[in-house]
Amino acid sequence: MNELLIMILIIGNTFLTFCAVKYLWHPKQVKVWPKLLEDGNTQAVIRSAMAFIAKQPQNIDAHYYLGRAYLAEDKYSLALIEFKVVSQMGIIGTGIPELEFRQTMAQLFINCNQPEEALKEYLLLIKLAPEKAEFYYHAGKLFIEQNRSDLAKQYLYKAEILNPYDHQVHCELGFLLYKDQQTQEAKIELEKAIQSPEYNAQAYFYLGKILKDDREYAAAIQTFEYALKSKEYKIKAHIERGICYISLNAMNKAIAELELVIQAIGDEVHPDSLYARYFLGSCYEQLNQIDKAIVQWDKIAAIKKNFHDVDNKLVQYMDYRYDSLKDYLNYREEEFLELCKDMASKGMGFKVQTMKAITNGAELIVVDKNVIDENNRELYQLVRFYRMYELVHEQLIYDILEDLRRQNIHRCIIVTNSGFAHDALEYANLRPVELLGKDKLIELLQNIQ
């Protein structure tokens, strides 16, 4: 009997000890996990918390610290799963700091590309702590991503009131106002943003764009220079500086900026590379280096059809693809006059009497050696060579014929690389004028070569 009683007491004691150890083990583990996380021993926390959850799936502390351990290892998706479990269980009365928890949840939603859920968290945080400017700021940014600019402004202005010295708030508000074409209001906010000792590339970049749009090119170039320090905005800032230099007619500086962009990107398909080539082509066009401009436009057209007016440019300047036409269009005045003299004499069989430069071309007075009048006198003709990209219209032919009458010359020939408009062709019909377009011009050039 005594032995049985002793056996019962031993078994009871063992059971009570087991229960006590089990009861004490949980709080001990909870106390150990924060220290392990602090020491960076995340794997120990993960193993311990997962083992604990296997026995007690509803233990909120285990899920919470497991989530924090995943977060410390940048395993955002796994961390979010655990934090969602904690949120569903409810953290009120658990000792888990709610503000910190909700902030972490919001950031996890952002990291996992769930902006709408992140916004819900920030709106809840605003209710919990309406005095915190940062919550309004993050909510405003998320409203910007949803293209809900009215709400974004509302929250960003509230953040600005609560913390008027936060340069990020001024920057985001300035960016939003710029997008909404409220440029003067945007300029005020962006100028506030750059007054902070903290560097803000986005503020410098968009302030530069506003200055450029206001034609304050020198100030814009200087402002973009600050944006060059940022990896994110460096390429775009170089392009914008290039555009400013074009507007200032400083083509060599513009070319330097734009070529730097193309070299830095290396990827021909990149949109910024296409834009850089487009404006580089514009530089060469304005410098009348059309062959170099065509190289840029050709590369753009090979990658993206209908990019701005590139296709029209290539059609407009297609004459430059012929070497002889390229010379015709690029020769200096003296060389051009000699070329026209050769075409008139060797190509057309005329005897050139006089020649002179005119706007966009050359004018020659010639004699056809094979044609004489009834008095056995040579007949004079006028030949005009034009190099331009606009079609010849009726008015120009009318003016030439009037000049022809004043000089008492019986007929004229008009040669151009561009072609003739319909009204010009109709007007020239039955009048003493011969119209020679690009094809005939190329033939003349080839003949004299």
pLDDT digits (tens, 9 = 90+) for 360-379: 999 999 998 766 655 556 78
Residue 30 is predicted with a pLDDT of 65
Label residue 289 exposed, middle or buried (CB < 10 Å: 0-12, 13-18, 19+).
middle
Q: Taking residues 231-240, what's their average pLDDT? A: 93
Integer angstrom CA distances of residue 163 from 137, 160, 207, 226, 243: 10, 5, 22, 25, 36
Residue 315 is predicted with a pLDDT of 83
pTM of the model: 0.62
What tens digit of pLDDT does each residue of 382-410 get? Answer: 999 999 888 999 999 999 999 998 988 98
- Give the integer Cα–Cα distance in Å for 448 and 323: 13
- Give the integer Cα–Cα distance in Å for 287 and 321: 18
Domains of the chain (ranges, CATH numbers)? 199-316 (1.25.40.10), 326-448 (3.40.1350.10)
Q: Is the CB of residue 379 less than 8 Å from the CB of residue 372?
A: yes
Q: Is the CB of residue 167 less than 8 Å from the CB of residue 200?
A: yes
